[in-house]
Amino acid sequence: MSMNMVIAGVTGRMGKALLEAVAAAPDMRLHGALDRTGSGALGRDAGEYTGAANGVLITDQVDEALAGAHALIDFTRPEATLTHLEACVRARVPLVIGTTGFDAAGKAAIEAAARQVPIVFAPNMSVGVNLVFKLLDTAARILNEGYDIEIIEAHHRHKVDAPSGTALRMGEVVAQALGRDLKDCAVYGREGVTGERQPSTIGFATVRGGDIVGDHTALFATMGERVEITHKASSRMTFAQGALRAARFLATADNGLYDMQDVLGLR
């Protein structure tokens, strides 16, 4: 049986990649296509974005789109995702969240909703990036003394949050492996006379420009050597395919909050 998929934000960059991925997946069919209220795309066939009409009209009526759905995939903005989250709880529809930039209240709302529906919530759905998270945990435990740690990320000019959710997750993985709390040791910017680098800090550097899909590097530097673990994405399709894997995982999952480490069996 094919999974009935609903995609949020279908006119965005990730939304279009998700439409293409679902259209190419033999075990899935597009069931609903959501966009924001006031969008000029409302009422149009979602297939226009994949080159072939499919009869699914773009709508802002979330509850209607979720009727009969097996999963919703959402890579939009926090305020929109939280609205979709409430609708998924009402409809008992599993949810894949790739949206970043949530505050503490938003994350708490997701955790509460996961007690009623299964949710995969991950800052990056790429299989390669989630392997990097695993590698970072190992690296941090081995390079736990005398190494300065910096995380550098680069994205396209349209990205609105910084550092990226992936960069923050990299920092969290490293901090946890070292027994630290990222809130206490993160440094997000340097300017002027900052003094010498504090050895327990984890630094972040952000680049925005052009059409960079997503580059992330964790740097472990000490006297005489440095170790770099890097992931570079050249297409959003890698994130879309990871999101489809997450949706398949949710088809048999119990209620709860999961991430891509669970989906990929990396725990």
Domain range annotation of the chain: 3-121+236-263, 127-233
> Is the predicted pLDDT of residue 115 greater than 80, yes or no?
yes
State mean pLDDT over 78-85: 97
> Is the predicted pLDDT of residue 218 greater than 80, yes or no?
yes
State mean pLDDT over 102-107: 96
State mean pLDDT over 83-109: 96
Q: What is the pTM of this model?
A: 0.82
Q: What is the pLDDT of residue 50?
A: 80
155 included as an active-site residue: yes
Q: What percent of the chain has pLDDT over 90?
A: 91
Give the separation between CA 192 and CA 1, rounded to whole angstroms: 60
Give the separation between CA 72 and CA 112, rounded to whole angstroms: 17
State mean pLDDT over 139-160: 96
Fold classification of 3-121+236-263 is Rossmann fold (3.40.50)
- For 162-210, write each residue's pLDDT tens digit: 999 999 999 999 999 999 999 999 999 899 999 999 999 999 999 999 9
State mean pLDDT over 13-17: 93
- For 222-255, write each residue's pLDDT tens digit: 999 999 999 999 999 999 999 999 999 999 999 9
> Is the predicted pLDDT of residue 81 greater than 90, yes or no?
yes
Which candidate in 159, 216, 231, 232 is catalytic? 159
Residue 264 banded pLDDT, cuts 50, 70, 90:
very high
Fold classification of 127-233 is Dihydrodipicolinate Reductase; domain 2 (3.30.360)
159 included as an active-site residue: yes
> Is the predicted pLDDT of residue 8 greater than 90, yes or no?
yes
Q: What is the pLDDT of the chain when averaged over all its residues?
A: 95
Which candidate in 31, 70, 84, 155 is catalytic? 155
Q: Is 101 exposed, middle or buried (0-12, 13-18, 19+ CB in 10 A)?
A: middle
> Is the predicted pLDDT of residue 154 greater than 90, yes or no?
yes
> Is the predicted pLDDT of residue 48 greater than 90, yes or no?
no
State mean pLDDT over 14-31: 95
Count other C-beta atoms under 10 Å from residue 40's C-beta: 9
Here the tokens at position 177 are 């492996």
Residue 52 banded pLDDT, cuts 50, 70, 90:
confident
Q: Contact, 211 vs 186, CB < 8 A? A: no
Q: What is the pLDDT of residue 130?
A: 92
